[in-house]
Amino acid sequence: MLGLVFLGTDMFFDKVKIKIKAGNGGDGAVSFHREKYVAAGGPDGGDGGRGGNVIIKPDEKVDTLIDFRFKKKYVAESGATGAGNNRKGKSGEDLIIRVPVGTVIIDAETEAVIADTSNGEERIIALGGKGGFGNARFSTPTRQIPMYAKSGKPGEQLEVILELKMIADAGLIGFPNVGKSTLLSCISAARPKVANYHFTTLEPMLGVVEIGMDSRFVAADIPGLIEGASEGLGLGHSFLRHIERCRVLLHVVDVSGSEGRDPIEDYKQINKELGSYNETLLDKPQIVVGNKCDIATEEQIEALRSFCSENGIEFIPVSAATMQGIDDLKKAAYALIQKTPKPAPFEETYVKPEPKIGRTFEITEEDGKYFIEAPWLERILWNTDPDDYNSLQYFQNALQESGIVDRLREMGVHDEDTVVIGDYEFNYVS
């Protein structure tokens, strides 16, 4: 009963939460061309480099999420600052995170699906920030000596859940101790642990079932289910999530009722748990595998057979102990898999949130005064030198480009009206 110590925990590392951050863009450079005998060279500060992306890449060679157990933060390299002589900063390296094929990437905040890697394609999960423009970009005929360069944009960051959902053609499901692992060892070369106690199997295991020369399928032995599994009891969700990716289910019951349970009740109970975890699991075609026929009575086998035929469920009586019916089971499972389409990949429901660090603002009007709320604008204002033409120009541009001026006009601002930004008051001049 040692296995009970682990119940309900997520010890299998088929679900982990990690933080990822793409690289920041490098800052643009402020630099002026200098050459012997050239008195005042023009601005030549290059742009900052782009920050590295964070990419998630499904890899056949990776089969667990165990490497994510201790390392929880993944940060891509930032872009380098631009340099004089119009040199662009070096771009940051992309960070590639390798995960098992079939890992689903979920936004931790909204629980929306960002990507399903079961198609084997890599995905950019967080975009690197763009590099800032160097001062060379701000040179205009009227502004020959720009002291401005822009800082790089921050890289995207988010917290994601990586959830491994195993991909198998057939999943062996059922109560503990009904013989699921024994059956997998009968039909494939896999050698899962078999023992006469509950929750012997703690992690799903795959086996390849050979039918003929070119016909085979992959079966998964899934840890035992119990009543309440859909609420996390027993091994709960940690194995239910694997069932989502199985094409068909081999629903194993102990026909002999050797543990004093009724196989028909067991069958109903397991389906109830599947349905409460996820309704769509009930759409998966099932075969009822009546195991332990060697110790069952004829009446017990017949009772289950008639229940199945009355309900239009395929039934195969077997004994993993004597190998009775095992060939029929392999063939029936293969035939059912052939006529069942592969489960569709998870729908991508994630919508990128509006960037929080954009030039957003709010304007309210009170007693003919316009109050602008925009922390980023206050920062610019703080650094603005009212006696410096370029400096003022930069501030004016920020007002224009962010749409603040347009909004003020829409709100009906007149010349000489008061506009308040933080601690500063201005008169509006069109």
Residues that bind ligand GTP (CB under 6 A): 176-182, 194-196, 198-201, 223-224, 291-292, 294-295, 319-321
Closest CA to 430 of 400, 402, 401: 400
What is the residue type of 381?
L
The yes or no reply on residue 188 touching Mg ion (CB under 5 A) is no
The yes or no reply on residue 201 touching Mg ion (CB under 5 A) is yes
Q: How far is the CB of 199 from Mg ion (least distance, A)?
A: 8
Which partner in Mg ion, ligand GTP, none is near 182 (CB below 5 to 8 A by kind)? ligand GTP
Q: How far is the CB of 101 from Mg ion (least distance, A)?
A: 24
Instruction: Report residue 384 as tokens.
Output: 């603005």
Please work out, in degrees rounded to the nearest 5, the angle formed at the alpha carbon of residue 149 by the alpha carbons of 146 and 152: 170
The yes or no reply on residue 200 touching Mg ion (CB under 5 A) is yes
Which partner in Mg ion, ligand GTP, none is near 117 (CB below 5 to 8 A by kind)? none
From 173-181, 207-215, 242-250, 335-343, give the range in contact with Mg ion by CB under 5 A. 173-181
Q: How far apart are CA 82 and CA 136, in angstroms?
A: 11
Q: Figure out which of the listed residues 118, 135, 181, 286 binds Mg ion, where binding follows CB under 5 A.
A: 181
Nearer to Mg ion, 169 or 203 (CB): 203
Q: How far apart are CA 111 and CA 346, in angstroms?
A: 13
Task: Please return the burial class of 56, using the count of CB atoms within 10 Å of its CB with bins 0-12, 13-18 and 19+.
Answer: buried
Q: How far is the CB of 47 from ligand GTP (least distance, A)?
A: 60
Nearer to Mg ion, 20 or 219 (CB): 219
Nearer to ligand GTP, 199 or 277 (CB): 199
Q: Which residues contact 53 (CB under 8 A, 6 or more apart)?
A: 22, 23, 76, 94, 95, 124, 125, 126, 127, 128
Q: How far is the CB of 202 from Mg ion (least distance, A)?
A: 9
Q: Which residues contact 36 (CB under 8 A, 6 or more apart)?
A: none
Nearer to Mg ion, 188 or 200 (CB): 200
Nearer to ligand GTP, 188 or 291 (CB): 291
* Nearest residue relative to ligand GTP (C-beta): 224
DSSP 182-249: HHHHHHSS------SSTT---S-EEEEEE-SSS-EEEEEE-PPP-TTGGGT-TTTHHHHHHHTTEEEE
CA-derived radius of gyration, the chain: 32
Nearer to Mg ion, 23 or 179 (CB): 179
The yes or no reply on residue 384 touching Mg ion (CB under 5 A) is no
Task: Please return the burial class of 168, using the count of CB atoms within 10 Å of its CB with bins 0-12, 13-18 and 19+.
Answer: buried
Q: How far is the CB of 266 from ligand GTP (least distance, A)?
A: 11
Which partner in ligand GTP, Mg ion, none is near 363 (CB below 5 to 8 A by kind)? none
Q: How far is the CB of 316 from Mg ion (least distance, A)?
A: 19
Which partner in ligand GTP, Mg ion, none is near 291 (CB below 5 to 8 A by kind)? ligand GTP
DSSP 264-281: HHHHHHHHHHHHHH-GGG
Closest CA to 369 of 336, 408, 342: 408
Nearer to ligand GTP, 251 or 284 (CB): 251
Q: How far is the CB of 202 from ligand GTP (least distance, A)?
A: 8
Q: How far is the CB of 174 from ligand GTP (least distance, A)?
A: 6
Nearer to ligand GTP, 1 or 39 (CB): 1
Q: What three-state secondary structure class fits 364? A: strand
Q: Which residues contact 84 (CB under 8 A, 6 or more apart)?
A: 29, 31, 32, 33, 44, 45, 46
Q: How far is the CB of 188 from Mg ion (least distance, A)?
A: 14
- Residue 62 and residue 98 in contact, taking contact as beta carbons nearer than 8 Å: yes
Q: How far apart are CA 193 and CA 184, in angstroms?
A: 10
Nearer to Mg ion, 181 or 390 (CB): 181
- Which residues bind to Mg ion, rule: CB under 5 A? 181, 200-201
